[in-house]
Chains A and B, each alone.
Chain A
Amino acid sequence: MNTVSSPAFDAVEQGSSLWHDAWLRLRKNKLALLGGAVLLFMIVIALLTPWIAPYSYEAQNLDLGASPPSAAHWLGTDIFGRDLLTQVMYGGRISLAVGFIATAVALLIGVTWGAIAGYVGGRVDAIMMRLVDILYALPFMIFIVLLMVVFGRNILLLFLAIGAVEWLTMARIMRSQVQSLRQQEFVEAAVSVGLSPATIIRKHIVPNALGPIIVYTTLTIPSVMLLEAFLSFLGLGIQPPATSWGLLISYGAETMEEYPWLLIFPGCALTLTLFSLNFLGDGLRDALDVRGSKD
Chain B
Amino acid sequence: MLRFLLVRILQALPVIFVVITATFFLVRSAPGGPFDQEKVVIPEVRAALEAQYRLDLPLHEQYFAYLGDLAQGDLGPSFKYPGRSVNEILFAGLPVTAELGLYALIIALVIGVTAGVFASLKPNTAQDYIPMSLAMIGICMPSFLLGPLLVLIFGIWLDWLPITGWGDIPGDKILPAVTLGSAYAAYIARLSRAGMLEILSQDYIRTARAKGLPEWRVVTQHALRGGLIPVIAFLGPAFAGLLAGSFVVETIFQIPGLGRFYVQAAFNRDYTMILGTTVFLSTLIVFFNLVSDVVAAWLNPRLRQQFKGGSA
Contact = CB atoms under 8 A, between A and B. Distances in A.
A198 to B, nearest CB: 31
Contacts of A233: 142, 144, 248
B140 A234 contact: no
A240 interface: no
B144 A137 contact: no
B22 to A, nearest CB: 8
A133 interface: yes
Interface in B16-34: 18-19, 22-23, 26-27, 29-31
A134 B18 contact: yes
Nearest to B268: A149
B230 interface: yes
Interface in A195-229: 222, 226, 229
B62 interface: no
Nearest to A226: B142
Contacts of A256: 148-149, 152
Contacts of A151: 30
A234 B247 contact: yes
A249 B156 CA distance: 19
Interface in A259-281: 263, 267, 270-271, 274-275, 278-279
B262 interface: yes
B243 interface: yes
Interface range, A side: 35 or more
Contacts of A145: 262-263, 266
A51 B152 CA distance: 37
A12 B173 CA distance: 58
A33 interface: no
Contacts of A278: 136, 139-140
Which DSSP category, helix, strand, loop or mixed, fits chain A's interface?
helix
B23 A146 contact: yes
Interface range, B side: 35 or more
Contacts of A142: 244, 262, 277-278, 281-282
B262 A275 contact: no
B137 interface: yes
B64 interface: no
A250 interface: yes
A57 interface: no
A150 B139 contact: no
A250 B286 CA distance: 32
Given A137-B12, A253-B147, 16 more contacts: A130-B11, A134-B18, A137-B282, A139-B240, A141-B241, A142-B262, A142-B281, A143-B22, A145-B266, A146-B27, A149-B267, A150-B26, A230-B142, A253-B144, A256-B152, A294-B233
Interface of B: 11-12, 14-15, 18-19, 22-23, 26-27, 29-31, 136-137, 139-142, 144-145, 147-149, 152, 156, 191, 194, 198, 229-230, 233, 240-241, 243-244, 247-248, 262-263, 266-267, 274, 277-278, 281-282, 285-286, 289, 296
Kindly list the 10 A-B residue pairs having the minimum CB-CB distance in the complex, ordered from nearest.
A141-B244, A274-B140, A150-B30, A253-B148, A137-B15, A149-B266, A233-B144, A134-B15, A271-B140, A267-B145
14 contacts: A137-B285, A138-B18, A141-B241, A141-B247, A142-B244, A149-B266, A150-B30, A226-B142, A246-B142, A249-B145, A253-B148, A271-B141, A275-B136, A292-B194
